[in-house]
Chains A and B, each alone.
Chain A
Amino acid sequence: DVKVTQSSRYLVKRTGEKVFLECVQDMDHENMFWYRQDPGLGLRLIYFSYDVKMKEKGDIPEGYSVSREKKERFSLILESASTNQTSMYLCASSRTSGRPTDTQYFGPGTRLTVL
């Protein structure tokens, strides 16, 4: 079974802090993704990566950056956390992203609260 783990289930941070969210997958997947999920807005893609050291912006990259130094690990960084970044953050991975059989496997999520 594919396993995607996220470093924290719940996180509380102060405005202005630098926040790191870590995601690790154990299936040697090429692609990794970071989403945020908010009531009424659904899941929105923040950033994704299709290879080590490669990254591309998703739909809402502002205020975030990412790092992928190793294939299995994809980090989401909030450079200076703000209250509007309070959300559920979901990480996902997939083997490829251009085939009819492709699916993404999701981690359990991190509920981030910025005070």
Chain B
Amino acid sequence: KQEVTQIPAALSVPEGENLVLNCSFTDSAIYNLQWFRQDPGKGLTSLLLIQSSQREQTSGRLNASLDKSSGRSTLYIAASQPGDSATYLCAVLNAGGTSYGKLTFGQGTILTVHP
């Protein structure tokens, strides 16, 4: 059964720092890996989607990488801002097993960027 782990569980940084969030998964049979953002009490917003054949995706100050063979992804946030404060969730879209076609989520990293 697919398991997704995110490290760290929480992170607090001063504004302007570059930071890295980590995600690992146990089964490499995936279609893609996504990073979502969730603000308190709200739904999820997709930030980046990396297809299984891709190595990275970039959007503005965000860069996500994928190493499918080792079961790892990182989300890099450059020049962090207080508006980046949120929970960041990693999820894989499973391509095999009993979870075929379903997303498996990590438990998230709570990011706080203070001025």
Interface range, B side: 20 to 34
Residues of A within 8 A of B93 (CB): 97, 102
Residues B46 and A42 in contact, CB atoms below 8 Å apart = no
Closest A residue to B31 using CB positions: A100
Residues A109 and B41 in contact, CB atoms below 8 Å apart = yes
Asked whether any CB of chain B lies closer than 8 Å to the CB of A27, the reply is: no
Residues of A within 8 A of B95 (CB): 98
Asked whether any CB of chain A lies closer than 8 Å to the CB of B89, the reply is: yes
Residues of A within 8 A of B34 (CB): 103
What is the CA–CA distance of A92 and B105 in the complex, to the nearest angstrom?
A: 14
- With contact pairs A43-B89, A102-B32, A108-B43 given, residues A97 and B52 touching in the complex (Cβ less than 8 Å): no
Centre residue among A48, A92, A104 by max chain B CB count within 10 A: A104
Q: Which of B32, B89, B106 contacts A100 (CB 8 A)?
A: B32
Asked whether any CB of chain A lies closer than 8 Å to the CB of B82, the reply is: no
Residues of B within 8 A of A13 (CB): none
Residues A97 and B107 in contact, CB atoms below 8 Å apart = no
Show the binding face of B for A, using Cβ within 8 Å.
Answer: 31-32, 34, 36, 41-46, 49, 51-53, 89, 91, 93, 95, 100-103, 105-108
Show the binding face of A for B, using Cβ within 8 Å.
Answer: 4, 40-43, 45, 48, 58, 88, 90, 92, 97-109, 111
Known: A41-B107, A45-B103, A99-B31. 15 other contacts (CB 8 A): A4-B43, A40-B107, A43-B103, A100-B32, A101-B32, A102-B31, A102-B93, A103-B34, A103-B46, A103-B49, A104-B46, A104-B103, A105-B46, A109-B41, A109-B43
